[in-house]
Chain A
Amino acid sequence: MKKLVKLFSLFFMMAGVIGFAQDTVSGTVSDSEGLPLPGATVVVQGTSIGVTSDFDGNYSISASQGDVLVFSYVGYESQTVTVGLSSTVNVSLTSSTALEEVVVTGITSRERQRLTSNAVVVGSELIEGVAVTSPDQALMGRVAGLRIVGLSGTPGAPQQIRIRGEGSISGSNSPLFVIDGVPVNNGTISPLLTDMGILSMINAADIESITVLKDAASLAAYGARGSNGVVVITTKKGKAGKIAYNVQSQYGFQNYAVDERQMLNGNQRLLLGAETIQNTYGWTKERATDYVLRAFPGASAWDAGGRVDGNWEDLIRVEDAPYQNYNISATGGNATENFRLGVGYRQQTGTSIGTDFESVNGSIYYKKVAGKVTIETNNRVSNAIQNGIHEGTAYFGAPQMTRMFMSPWQQPKNPDGTWNLNLTTSTFNTPYLAEVNIQQNDGTRALSNSKVSYAINDKLKVSSRYSIDFTLGVSHEYRNPYHGDAASDNGYAYQATSRNFLWQTINELEYNDVFGDNEHFVSALIRQSFAKNKSHFQSSSGENVAAAGLFYVASFNTNETGFGSFGDYKELGYLALANYSYKDKYIVDLSFRNDGSSRFASGYRFGNFYSAGVAWNISNENFLADSEVVDNLKLRASYGETGNNGIGNNQYQSLFGYGGAYDNNGAVAPVTFGNLVISWETARLLDVGVDFSLFKNRFSGALTYYEKTTDDLLQSVPLSTTTGHSGQTMNIGSVINKGVEFEFDAQVLKAKDFSFEIYGNVSENRDEVLRLAQDAAGNDINLDNSYYTTRVGHPQAQFYLRTWGGVDPADGRPYYLVGGDHRDGPVSDEVTYSYYGAEQTVQGLRLPPVQGGLGLRVGWKGLTLDANMMFATGHKVFERWAWYTMNSGLRSTYSWQGDARLMDRWQQPGDITDVPKMVYSSSSLSGGSATTSRFLYDGDFMRLRDLSLNYSLPKSATDAIGFNRIDIFVKGLNLFTWTKDDLPFDPEVRATGRFRITTPPLKSISLGANLNF
């Protein structure tokens, strides 16, 4: 059959050749400014005759009078010319800024007008120089409904992303990352106390665009892994033409964005310390002060030394930490064979002492079109080294912990300039530790992605893709034997190697056809994908080192431990997609996917996911065709199902774990309760929206309403702990997320040399728990703990704290409100002085229900200014650790350190303040600092996320020195932050809504240049 088709086409071609006089047509292809376009494609329409232009844009093709020549070039609008009498045809192609945008969904690439979904695309110009730590950072504030938070300001730290809220109570809520059509791993290298995100090993300069998929029509194609949204990264490809070089360099400085926490100085601490005794035991100020100086740790030495405070803050903070980034790339070739080579280098010094990040990477893209076969390969390798610190919680060895917890009476150095290792406090001398200890993650990541496709004919194409995602993480920790965590062990060393290998294959059959007079567009696709992931982990540690200057486990021969493990998972999926468009007015999308995962028991491994989408391009109807106002108007709706298998491997099995030991003999214990009938978590998505473009595309945007109902939640259902287990993984419970998203772009002014544009997005997302697991008696098993409550009819994990009343002006005691949501009977506003006399009460949301971004772009001649502000509102953030730093007692004056806000404490009857009187007690209850709404703040904030000023040198100037284009830019990140409440920490906190002790988020300013030649 195929042979027959081929034969026929050959025959017709022959006939064409024989039947008409054959001439040669030649000419030049250039752009609108007259520059030659090398590698442009020239095809005789309806035949397979085609050539490409040479480096000077010249071409020569066999064609006859009456033939139609089609000229095309990437990034330019195609042009058709009918061959007339002249044998010379010169064309100039216009740049395709007006060209219909093509949206890459990781599975298909399709013109936006034929989509039934609304995907947000962030282009490379917004990624380069903005994504300092990892590429996903560029999405901050740019995409409606997407929340992204850096987990730490330590360079290389990962980001936490939530798309349209959280659908899963105990499964994963992280989106899937897809690079060039293949899902990749997105995790961390983190056996140490600083995490390194493996996405940070992807060079932002290699990225062409990032597309965020949020709705049913686009997500259902990702089936079992699509529930939490998909972030599709498309890397830069080769470009036809003369070899073009691009050199980018950027140099900048970083500082804490806003975290300027003030702590007590030595004299304030002495004053408050004395007050604890005055207030509790009625001593005079003199006697109490004298006692503090004598009995409180470090006070006497501080006093004797002339009351000079330890300069901890200065030693821990690295001011104006430099950041540098250099990238060089080259592209070239022609339409049938082209390439891109890239190399990059990045170095970032952290703002916490002892941290830095360094990365080198290289990539190569090659494409060859050989007749009906196209081969394409895209490969990148990078190595990143991150020197980290203890962070995340109140580790004694964490520099950021020292900032908050170190007594100013302690001195970091001895009078002779050596480090003071004899602190009379629990916290360590972390500037010293940063100098001598090692905590390093060294990661290597290789991504290889090759595709071969074969065009059976111009409608049917078959392709096969093979990809490898390999991550090798090497971690090393050394703790010195003199001071810190390992002093009592006489030194400690730890080394770990983690290796993760993911290979995938995707086989695909794609069909595209047009019927009638460009009336019916049909495209269909079937694909099979198989993924196999293997991970190995090995670590060893030892204690007791014989001499200084030895850092590796081999020299630490006491209490050596070794650990090794292996894990794997496999996923198999089948997908069928169909898209039909009638005159680009009515569009229908259908998808069906069947997925299997090894995380479930045989018989429960496969799930079916489908979606249907429709769209109506009203602007293509006759009655709007001539409209002066409406350029584009589209109504779209989609409905579908996706899944989530975001639980650990082997959870369905009842297993014995062999990791334990007792008395140096193996100990075997059940590790999972097991549940053979667990399967996918299923999300049903409904999207309805309108896309519009008005006034000659001067004002465009999209408005979307969505509902996402997640059923059969993979939940660790609490068991009575009398069973020996805390929970059992089950498919139970249901959560709904509903929201509205609006995106717009308005070109306010557009003159010859001047343009002014405003763009932005705003989204609202609200969630509600519809169903939870029930206990044996049929009651909901509420998921409440000391911070959060999750109950039916309410959002997931709202803040659930005792309500702070205030400080009694009469005696300075803290009081609380009895409160008590979720109890039978009304909430009580009664006052109680007993902490436990107050009930935990619902206090608000931890994720912002409303967030967005607002930007403006101003262009004047070669100058472009782009400013993007992000904001979030309606949520709360909790100041963890305030139970120490805001304790009106000994925690802030004796054991640890107090916040300067304690100076507002109650002192005498009648004082109106929110800080209780100082008491001689270590209790957080008497000191008023126990966990209550006192430390819960409105999380509302606005932040100038990025600001960039770019100057593009005039063409005349660049031509004179032999460059195609030269840009010089200044970029600023997080330069300005506004918070509604006077927050003592950065407003960007992870999804738990609680402050963590890490390097604070950064602000930076950098200068750079981008040269093309």
Chain B
Amino acid sequence: MKKLFKLTFFFSFLMLFVACGDDDLEPTLAQDKDLNTGINNADDLVSVMNSAYDRMTPSGYYGRNQIIMGDVRTDNLYSNVNSGRFTDSDMDYSPNGAGPWSTIYRAIAICNIVIGADIAGLEGDQGKMSHTQGQAHALRALLHFDLLQDYGQHFVNGGGAGALGVPYVKTYKDPANLSPARDTAGSNLGDIIGDLQTGISMMNDAYNISTSYMTKMGAYAILARVALYGGAADSSLYATATSAAEWVIANGTASPASAAGFKATYYTDNASNSIFELAYSGTDSAGINGHAYILRGTSYGDVRILTGSSGDDLYDIFAADAATDVRFTKNGMIGTAQGYPSILGKYPTMDGSDNVTIIRVEEMHLIAAEGHLRAGNSSGALTYLNNITGLRGATAYTEATLANILNERRKELYCESPGRFYDLSRTGQDMPLIDSIKQMNDDKDGMPPKFGSYRYAYPIYLSELNANPNMVQNAGY
């Protein structure tokens, strides 16, 4: 008996000693898959592409900050710092960095994985995969355009097209391009337009799902926007803006919202006027970190409509049509919450589950108006301009001037992408003073920053400068 015990004991002991090796240490990949074997077919490619959209949704980007920062630095909104948020509305950014830099590059990385896939070697519908890659090109263009607007030096100290832009990243994990240098703003614009044109040529409407995804129409619309903004650096682009906008108006599926239907577009996903939007649902909403909470939350609620006596605030520009304009108080779009003048109709659902519109067809009419005006065709411009007023219960303009077009853009697109800040900067304007007590961007010098100030661009993050020897900081930081 004892011997048996001994034998068994030794035997099992020995077995254990020899039984373990390198292979026994292979970890389980439970939730993840190896990168090199992760994309096998058209559906895999679509799933990866979904991440590019998903990475645009955080509150650091289109989930909140991109849109709020587009207006909170201007005469539209201000931050009362109720919860300590949007102190960057003072435009006195920490030299350690500001803005959505890494968030945007994270989305670009996904586009590059999709673009870099060798679709000929994958299973499934080649047309669908080509369409997906086309989406990636168009999205990559939009993402770089947002980077260029936030970090480019083209408006700082008289920069122009030759000033520093951002690194245009076209590859994922390319060992030769892990520390890219900044391209010029002009080069960025060229790459953005090139990517949009590539995207347009690769996408096919047969594969469209909804406006929550990039489409050929979306790429044209972004091209129109890019060309309009790029016109400040290269005026030949205005013609591109006009033609792209008119392509969308003529060939796109989106149509401007009626006066009656206007308010509903803000709580309707993929509304009729939508060209491209980001999908949010109750389960993947930004919640308290979304737009609704910052605009009218009982806690948070930092960002409110800037009112004051020094210049024209939102109440002032709507005053003439106050009784009729569906974008104002009468239609519940603007009103009082917690005692503050607040944005009520945009991002209406408190849990942040409303889709966030990035571009819609009304903007195309206003771009076309401006394009025609800049080409000297003021009657064509007036038609497009009054296409909007006519649908909003606003008095028609008698003349298409740049001031009128910018005023209508402000009325139509306040607190929406692309943001009033970028209209002010591309037209060479100073930040307006409305109320020195409320607004924060006058605290530093007594007046808000003037056009050309280094404060028109965010500083690049210190971590980026530390990790990338080829990176150059923006002026003034």
Q: Is B118 an interface residue (CB 8 A)?
A: no
Distance in angstroms from A513 CB to nearest chain B CB is 21
Question: Would A720 and B84 be within 8 Å (CB), given that A662-B279, A674-B35, A786-B94 are in contact?
Answer: no
CA distance A669 to B471 in the complex (A): 26
Question: Do the beta carbons of A602 and B22 come within 8 Å of each other?
Answer: yes
Distance in angstroms from B45 CB to nearest chain A CB is 9
Q: Is A428 an interface residue (CB 8 A)?
A: yes
Question: Do the beta carbons of A724 and B105 come within 8 Å of each other?
Answer: yes
CA distance A118 to B384 in the complex (A): 86
CA distance A923 to B28 in the complex (A): 50
CA distance A565 to B31 in the complex (A): 7
Q: Per-residue 0/1 for A583-595: is the Cβ within 8 Å of any B Cβ (1 yes, 0 no)?
A: 0000000000000
Q: Which of A766-785 contact B (CB under 8 A)?
A: 775-777, 779, 781-785
Question: Do the beta carbons of A669 and B48 come within 8 Å of each other?
Answer: yes
Question: Do the beta carbons of B440 and A668 come within 8 Å of each other?
Answer: no
Distance in angstroms from B295 CB to nearest chain A CB is 13
Question: Do the beta carbons of B31 and A923 come within 8 Å of each other?
Answer: no
Distance in angstroms from A823 CB to nearest chain B CB is 13
Q: Which of B252-297 contact A (CB under 8 A)?
A: 279, 281-284, 288, 293, 297
Q: Which of A649-677 contact B (CB under 8 A)?
A: 649-650, 653-671, 673-674
Q: Is B135 an interface residue (CB 8 A)?
A: no
CA distance A493 to B357 in the complex (A): 31
Contacts of A775 in B (CB 8 A): 179, 466-469
A424, A462, A561, A663 — which one has the most chain B CB atoms within 10 A of its CB?
A663
Q: Is B463 an interface residue (CB 8 A)?
A: yes
Question: Do the beta carbons of B30 and A777 come within 8 Å of each other?
Answer: no
Q: Per-residue 0/1 for A432-475: is the Cβ within 8 Å of any B Cβ (1 yes, 0 no)?
A: 00000000000000000000101000000010100000000000
Q: Per-residue 0/1 for A891-935: is the Cβ within 8 Å of any B Cβ (1 yes, 0 no)?
A: 100010000000000000000000000001111111000000000
Q: Is A755 an interface residue (CB 8 A)?
A: no
CA distance A605 to B10 in the complex (A): 28
CA distance A655 to B467 in the complex (A): 22
A427, A668, A673 — which one has the most chain B CB atoms within 10 A of its CB?
A668
Distance in angstroms from B171 CB to nearest chain A CB is 10
Q: Is B96 an interface residue (CB 8 A)?
A: yes
Question: Do the beta carbons of A723 and B173 come within 8 Å of each other?
Answer: yes
Q: Per-residue 0/1 for B81-115: is the Cβ within 8 Å of any A Cβ (1 yes, 0 no)?
A: 11110010010101110000110011111101100
Q: Which of A516-557 contact B (CB under 8 A)?
A: 528, 530, 543
Q: Per-residue 0/1 for A275-300: is the Cβ within 8 Å of any B Cβ (1 yes, 0 no)?
A: 00000010000000000000000000
Partner of B83, one of A561, A895, A921: A895
Partner of A667, one of B53, B299, B461: B53
CA distance A371 to B6 in the complex (A): 12
Question: Do the beta carbons of A663 and B35 come within 8 Å of each other?
Answer: no
Of chain A, the residue at the smallest CB distance from B35 is A654
CA distance A396 to B464 in the complex (A): 33
Contacts of B282 in A (CB 8 A): 543, 558-559
Question: Do the beta carbons of A666 and B50 come within 8 Å of each other?
Answer: yes
Of chain B, the residue at the smallest CB distance from A428 is B299
Question: Do the beta carbons of B466 and A781 come within 8 Å of each other?
Answer: yes
Partner of A924, one of B25, B79, B87, B105: B87
Q: Is B178 an interface residue (CB 8 A)?
A: yes
Question: Do the beta carbons of B466 and A650 come within 8 Å of each other?
Answer: no
Partner of A655, one of B17, B24, B26, B29: B29
CA distance A668 to B37 in the complex (A): 13
Question: Do the beta carbons of B179 and A776 come within 8 Å of each other?
Answer: yes
Question: Would A836 and B94 be within 8 Å (CB), given that A662-B50, A662-B53, A720-B471 are in contact?
Answer: yes
Question: Do the beta carbons of B96 and A786 come within 8 Å of each other?
Answer: yes
CA distance A427 to B178 in the complex (A): 44
Distance in angstroms from B204 CB to nearest chain A CB is 19
Distance in angstroms from A680 CB to nearest chain B CB is 13
Of chain B, the residue at the smallest CB distance from A657 is B32
Contacts of B467 in A (CB 8 A): 717-721, 775, 781
Question: Would A720 and B13 be within 8 Å (CB), given that A489-B351, A568-B27, A660-B54 are in contact?
Answer: no
Q: Interface size on A (CB < 8 Å)?
A: 96
Question: Would A426 and B299 be within 8 Å (CB), given that A650-B32, A720-B178 are in contact?
Answer: yes
Question: Do the beta carbons of A566 and B31 come within 8 Å of each other?
Answer: yes
Question: Do the beta carbons of B36 and A654 come within 8 Å of each other?
Answer: yes
Question: Would A656 and B35 be within 8 Å (CB), given that A371-B2, A489-B351 are in contact?
Answer: yes
Of chain A, the residue at the smallest CB distance from B166 is A722
Partner of A722, one of B29, B47, B293, B468: B468
Contacts of B173 in A (CB 8 A): 654, 673, 723
Contacts of A723 in B (CB 8 A): 105, 109, 169, 172-173, 178
Contacts of A673 in B (CB 8 A): 173
Contacts of B109 in A (CB 8 A): 670, 723-725
Contacts of A145 in B (CB 8 A): none
CA distance A776 to B437 in the complex (A): 48
Question: Do the beta carbons of B53 and A670 come within 8 Å of each other?
Answer: no
Question: Do the beta carbons of A507 and B17 come within 8 Å of each other?
Answer: yes
Question: Do the beta carbons of A776 and B33 come within 8 Å of each other?
Answer: no
Contacts of B54 in A (CB 8 A): 660-662, 667, 669
CA distance A558 to B108 in the complex (A): 33
Q: Is B51 an interface residue (CB 8 A)?
A: yes
CA distance A569 to B26 in the complex (A): 8
Of chain B, the residue at the smallest CB distance from A566 is B30
Q: Is A368 an interface residue (CB 8 A)?
A: no
Question: Would A884 and B22 be within 8 Å (CB), given that A650-B27, A667-B51, A719-B467 are in contact?
Answer: no
Q: Which of A861-916 contact B (CB under 8 A)?
A: 884, 890-891, 895
CA distance A718 to B463 in the complex (A): 7
Question: Do the beta carbons of B180 and A722 come within 8 Å of each other?
Answer: yes
CA distance A507 to B19 in the complex (A): 12
Contacts of A694 in B (CB 8 A): none
Question: Do the beta carbons of A569 and B33 come within 8 Å of each other?
Answer: no
Q: Per-residue 0/1 for B298-314: is the Cβ within 8 Å of any A Cβ (1 yes, 0 no)?
A: 11110000000000000
Distance in angstroms from B441 CB to nearest chain A CB is 11
Partner of A895, one of B81, B94, B101: B81
Q: Is A334 an interface residue (CB 8 A)?
A: no
Q: Which of B1-46 contact A (CB under 8 A)?
A: 2, 5-6, 9-10, 12-13, 16-17, 20-22, 24-36, 38, 44, 46
Distance in angstroms from B43 CB to nearest chain A CB is 9
Q: Is A194 an interface residue (CB 8 A)?
A: no
CA distance A182 to B10 in the complex (A): 22
Q: Is B57 an interface residue (CB 8 A)?
A: yes
Q: Per-residue 0/1 for A470-501: is the Cβ within 8 Å of any B Cβ (1 yes, 0 no)?
A: 00000000000000010111000000000000
CA distance A278 to B271 in the complex (A): 51
Contacts of A507 in B (CB 8 A): 13, 16-17
Q: Is B55 an interface residue (CB 8 A)?
A: yes
Q: A424-B338, A658-B33 are in contact. List 13 more A-B contacts (CB 8 A).
A: A396-B299, A558-B282, A596-B25, A650-B29, A661-B54, A667-B50, A668-B38, A722-B167, A724-B172, A725-B109, A895-B84, A925-B92, A926-B443
20 contacts between A and B (CB under 8 A): A371-B2, A424-B338, A426-B301, A464-B12, A565-B31, A602-B22, A602-B25, A650-B32, A656-B32, A666-B50, A669-B48, A669-B54, A718-B466, A726-B463, A775-B468, A775-B469, A782-B466, A895-B82, A895-B84, A923-B440
Closest 7 CB pairs of A and B: A724-B109, A922-B81, A777-B469, A669-B51, A559-B282, A720-B468, A721-B102
Chain A interface residues toward B at CB < 8 A: 281, 371, 373, 396, 424, 426-428, 452, 454, 462, 464, 485, 487-489, 505, 507, 528, 530, 543, 558-561, 565-572, 596-599, 602-603, 605-606, 649-650, 653-671, 673-674, 717-726, 775-777, 779, 781-786, 836, 884, 890-891, 895, 920-926
Chain B interface residues toward A at CB < 8 A: 2, 5-6, 9-10, 12-13, 16-17, 20-22, 24-36, 38, 44, 46-48, 50-51, 53-55, 57, 79-84, 87, 90, 92, 94-96, 101-102, 105-110, 112-113, 167, 169, 172-173, 178-180, 210, 212-213, 279, 281-284, 288, 293, 297-301, 338, 350-351, 437, 440, 443, 461-464, 466-471
